[in-house]
């Protein structure tokens, strides 16, 4: 079988990674996609690093057994816990991870603080702290750990008063009335509540996420290995979830805006 026609695998702790897969579908519409969400074991962001690493390895094995040609770890938390080791164990598999898009936020050069919303684990891990170290002299960067936020998205709650209250409280607790230049969404679930966040912080705050950058990097990595499809037909999408609840697949389709 021609390796180029094999699907691309996407993985996240739940439905969040679909925000990245959506960008990949725009960038590479003729590829076939397999998505695995581990909603049964979510949230990852408040677990131990070892637990997240083990779950990520199982998910990667699941995708490899499905015959994928490359993998996107579309989860900041799983990336920070496992990507280095995954690359050691599977050196032949094109593998991309995702991390908070701090660089574009700093390069906006806008007055005010840069808030990084992510899971507690992502913000604690050395991968993020190295990134923050690199930019800390150029902007005031404020990490905002958001335990509990991914649960709204997993339940399909993308707007409403309760979510607005949650977001308002997080922002005001960490930001203390100073101007906000931008907010980096360092968890792949959060782009699905971007509109609600804009309502809370105001339309002139830039909200940045790493989905498009990750999709482009995935394309570059597949191209480097001559693995991009040569099909001219729109690709297929298969969604798997570790949860037995049918709602998870229905929600995934709703978020991806497919039937």
Is 75 tagged catalytic?
A: yes
Handedness of CA 68, 72, 75, 81 (dihedral sign): positive
240 beta partners: 36
Nearest-approach distance from CB 19 to ligand DGL, in angstroms: 9
Q: How far apart are CA 92 and CA 139, in angstroms?
A: 38
CA–CA separation, 209 and 183 (whole Å): 9
Distance CA 134, CA 52 (A): 26
Closer to ligand DGL at the Cβ: 86 or 227? 86
116 binds ligand DGL (CB under 6 A): no
Distance separating alpha carbons of residues 188 and 210, to the nearest angstrom: 8
248 counts as catalytic:
no
Under the binding rule (CB under 6 A), the answer on residue 75 touching ligand DGL is yes
User: Please, which of residues 168-187 interact with ligand DGL by CB under 6 A?
Assistant: 187
DSSP string for residues in 14-28: SSTTHHHHHHHHHH-
- With beta carbons less than 8 A apart as the criterion, state whether 206 and 139 touch: no
CA separation for the pair 248, 39 (Å, rounded): 8
Nearest distance from C-beta of residue 150 to ligand DGL, angstroms: 4
Number of chain residues interacting with ligand DGL (CB under 6 A): 17
Q: Write each residue from 125 to 164 as x if it is in contact with ligand DGL (CB under 6 A), else as -, in one continuous string.
A: -------------------------x--------------
Catalytic residue, candidates 71, 187, 205, 227: 187
Positions 12 through 71 that interact with ligand DGL (CB under 6 A):
12-14, 16, 42-45
**209 is a site residue for ligand DGL (CB under 6 A):** no
Q: Residues interacting with ligand DGL, by CB under 6 A?
A: 12-14, 16, 42-45, 75-77, 119, 122, 150, 187-189
Residues tagged active-site: 75, 187
């Amino acid at each position: 079988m021609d390796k180029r026609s094999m699907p691309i695998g996407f993985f996240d702790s739940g439905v969040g990674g679909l925000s990245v897969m959506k960008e990949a579908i725009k960038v590479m519409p003729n590829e076939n996609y397999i998505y695995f969400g581990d909603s049964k074991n979510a949230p990852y962001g408040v677990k131990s690093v070892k637990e997240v690493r083990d779950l990520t390895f199982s998910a990667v094995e699941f995708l490899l057994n499905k015959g994928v040609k490359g993998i996107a770890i579309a989860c900041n938390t799983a990336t920070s816990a496992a990507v280095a080791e995954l690359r050691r164990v599977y050196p032949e598999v094109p593998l991309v991870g995702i991390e908070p898009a701090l660089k574009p936020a700093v390069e906006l050069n806008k007055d005010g603080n840069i808030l990084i919303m992510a899971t507690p684990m992502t913000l604690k891990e050395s991968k993020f702290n190295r990134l923050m170290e690199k930019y800390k002299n150029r902007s005031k960067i404020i990490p905002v750990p958001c335990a509990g936020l991914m649960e709204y998205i997993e339940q399909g709650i993308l707007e409403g008063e309760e979510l607005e209250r949650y977001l308002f409280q997080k922002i005001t607790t960490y930001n203390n009335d100073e101007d906000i230049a931008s907010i980096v969404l360092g968890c792949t679930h959060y782009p699905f509540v971007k509109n609600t966040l804009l309502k809370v912080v105001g339309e002139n705050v830039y909200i940045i996420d790493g989905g498009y950058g990750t999709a482009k990097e995935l394309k570059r990595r597949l191209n480097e290995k001559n693995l991009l499809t040569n099909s001219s037909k729109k690709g297929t999408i298969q969604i798997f979830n570790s949860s037995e609840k049918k709602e998870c697949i229905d929600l995934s389709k709703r978020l991806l805006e497919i039937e």
